């Protein structure tokens, strides 16, 4: 595991829990000022480090077994662990944290792999090597299935579409959202027709040779 910190959405992805579940630990007083707050425009964003990630991942398995006071005790014990310590001592019990650390490392790698599939440009995020906006594709998932989106964007595989959806969940688009229905599908449902070649140009289904991503 790295020493970097993670936003709420990033930590939710890495620990495979919902952002709501993570912020609830603050609402219930389990976590307080121990999580770093990083000043950003428009407010503050909580940043989570290794102790919080370990705790969140552990609670993925244990949450239903502990009250807020019990979870606070668990977090205090996790926080006191050294960065290389693999055994959690919890009162009279000992718990091997190696599997938890392995799970976190795998998820951290998945997050970095996901980030590497996209490139930021002109205030938007695009699939590497393409002129298709990941945010535009992700917006369609609100009213279309992955299969339907793949029909509208034939150059994208279902995995690429899911990657765009995951990316948007972690790093939401700022500003005006994209439509939740593709122009191709909207026109088809209205009984309108348009030159397929023009649609391909509009939707950027082909890599842009002028870009070197």
Whole-structure pTM value: 0.80
Write the pLDDT tens digit of every residue in 125-182. 999 999 999 999 999 999 999 999 998 899 999 999 999 999 999 999 999 989 888 7
pLDDT at 82: 86
Coil vs helix vs strand at 137? helix
Section 108-126 average pLDDT: 96
Coil vs helix vs strand at 46? strand
SS3 string of 77-123? HHHCCCCCCCEEEECCEEEECHHHHHHHHHHHHHHHHHHCCEEEECC
Write the pLDDT tens digit of every residue in 4-45. 899 999 999 999 999 999 999 988 889 875 455 554 444 457
- What structural domains does the chain harbor? 8-114 (1.10.1660), 121-203 (no CATH)
- Tally Cβ neighbours within 10 Å of residue 118: 21
- Tally Cβ neighbours within 10 Å of residue 161: 25
Write the pLDDT tens digit of every residue in 50-99. 999 999 999 998 878 889 999 999 999 999 998 889 999 988 889 999 99
SS3 string of 65-87? HCCHHHHHHHHHHHHCCCCCCCE
pLDDT at residue 118 tops 50: yes
Section 105-128 average pLDDT: 96
Where does the chain have alpha helices with state H? 8-15, 19-27, 50-62, 68-79, 98-115, 134-140, 146-152, 158-170, 183-189, 196-203
């Amino acid at each position: 595991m790295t020493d970097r910190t993670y936003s709420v959405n990033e930590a939710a992805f890495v620990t495979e829990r919902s952002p709501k579940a993570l912020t609830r630990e603050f609402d219930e007083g389990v976590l307080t000022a121990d999580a770093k707050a990083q000043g950003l425009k428009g407010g503050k964003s909580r940043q989570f480090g290794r102790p919080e990630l370990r705790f969140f991942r552990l609670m993925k398995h244990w949450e239903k077994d502990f009250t807020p006071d019990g979870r606070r005790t668990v977090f205090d014990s996790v926080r006191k662990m050294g960065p290389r310590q693999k055994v959690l001592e919890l009162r009279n019990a000992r718990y091997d944290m190696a599997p938890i650390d392995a799970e976190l490392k795998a998820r951290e790698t998945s997050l970095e792999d996901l980030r590497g599939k996209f490139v930021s440009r002109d205030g938007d995020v695009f699939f590497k090597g393409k002129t298709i906006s990941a945010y535009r594709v992700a917006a369609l998932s609100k009213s279309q299935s992955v299969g339907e989106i793949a029909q509208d964007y034939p150059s994208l595989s279902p995995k690429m579409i899911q990657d765009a959806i995951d990316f948007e969940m972690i790093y939401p688009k700022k500003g005006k959202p994209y439509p939740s229905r593709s122009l191709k599908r909207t026109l088809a449902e209205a009984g309108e027709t348009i030159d397929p070649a023009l649609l391909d140009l509009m939707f950027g289904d082909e890599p842009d040779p002028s870009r070197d991503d």
